[in-house]
Amino acid sequence: MQLILHRAALAAFLLVSVASLTGCVTMPESRAFNAAANPEIKRIAVLPMRESEIDLLIVNNPGYSFGLVGAAIAEANRVPKRNWLREQVTARNFDHIEVFQQAFTEAMARRGFELVWPGQVVENGAKAKRSATGLRKAYTPIDDADAQLDLNFGFVGYAAAGSSDGAPYRPTAIVFAQLVTKDGKQVLFSDHVVYNNVFPGNSAGIVLNPDPTHRYPDFDDMKAAGPMTVDGLRLAFETVAETLAKQFGSVQ
């Protein structure tokens, strides 16, 4: 009986998780950065991110429409595929946070901004209170930078819009960003960048079409590509980083 209840609870949790990934999250209101009105902002403290892991998802998987049993079956099919993808990532020593951090730091530097990253880029220990997007609900004042930047990833990995042949797996990444004043009281910029927008209801934000090189009609095609799937992820995170940096101004 306990095993049955455990599986039911797990399936219920999975249903909620998939719903949060597929458009039921309220997106933050977009606010463009006004560089002309904020010329004093040059040194930006980046706040610790919440944890994120490479994943694999079929959005609109019909299995999730059939209650706990359907969700459990869908997960039994998905999890081994996700594990295979994570094995490829580990074999290539690919760290999506590190790739994004380097690309974003360089892209912002070309625009005249210095990013100050925390010693632990991913939060460790006490966790900040966050909204469903991962952005903080409140900010603590700082005095060692001109502003503070809240960055967090949503889904990261490979995703398909459905289970048909016309819905291939593609590299997918969502990053939410919010720049606030150093006292944490005023929002100076807020938006999110989506690479491969397969999530229904997510029409807002900055949407990027994925590179067609890394398009896999089904999972067997992904397996045949092997390490190339990681190249697709690297391109996704570098492209997202460059696109986000462009929202702060032109290259100097």
Flag whether 169 is in a domain. yes
- Give the CATH number, domain containing residue 146: 3.30.160.150
Flag whether 190 is in a domain. yes
Cα angle value 15/19/22 (rounded, 5°)? 140
**CA atoms of 194 and 237, how far apart (whole Å):** 10
**Tens of pLDDT, residues 79-109:** 899 999 999 999 999 999 999 999 999 999 9
Tokens standing for residue 126? 């006490």
Closest by alpha carbon to 216, among 171, 168, 173?
168
Flag whether 3 is in a domain. no
State what percent of residues in the chain have pLDDT above 70. Answer: 79
Q: What is the pLDDT of residue 60?
A: 67
Contact (Cβ atoms closer than 8 angstroms) between residue 170 and residue 158: yes
How many structural domains does the chain have? 1
Q: What is the pLDDT of residue 75?
A: 72
**By residue range, what is the domain housing residue 197?**
26-59+93-246
Q: What is the mean pLDDT of residues 43-58?
A: 95
**Tens of pLDDT, residues 107-156:** 999 999 999 999 999 998 888 999 989 999 999 999 999 999 999 999 99
Flag whether 87 is in a domain. no
Contact (Cβ atoms closer than 8 angstroms) between residue 101 and residue 26: no
- 60 by DSSP, 3-state: which? coil
DSSP state letters, 123-163: --SSPPPB-TTS-BSS----SSSSEEEEEEEEEEEEEESSS
Flag whether 20 is in a domain. no
**CA atoms of 47 and 137, how far apart (whole Å):** 13
Flag whether 218 is in a domain. yes
Contact (Cβ atoms closer than 8 angstroms) between residue 58 and residue 168: no
Flag whether 184 is in a domain. yes
Flag whether 122 is in a domain. yes
Global confidence as pTM: 0.87
Closest by alpha carbon to 51, among 140, 102, 124?
124
Q: What is the pLDDT of residue 202?
A: 59
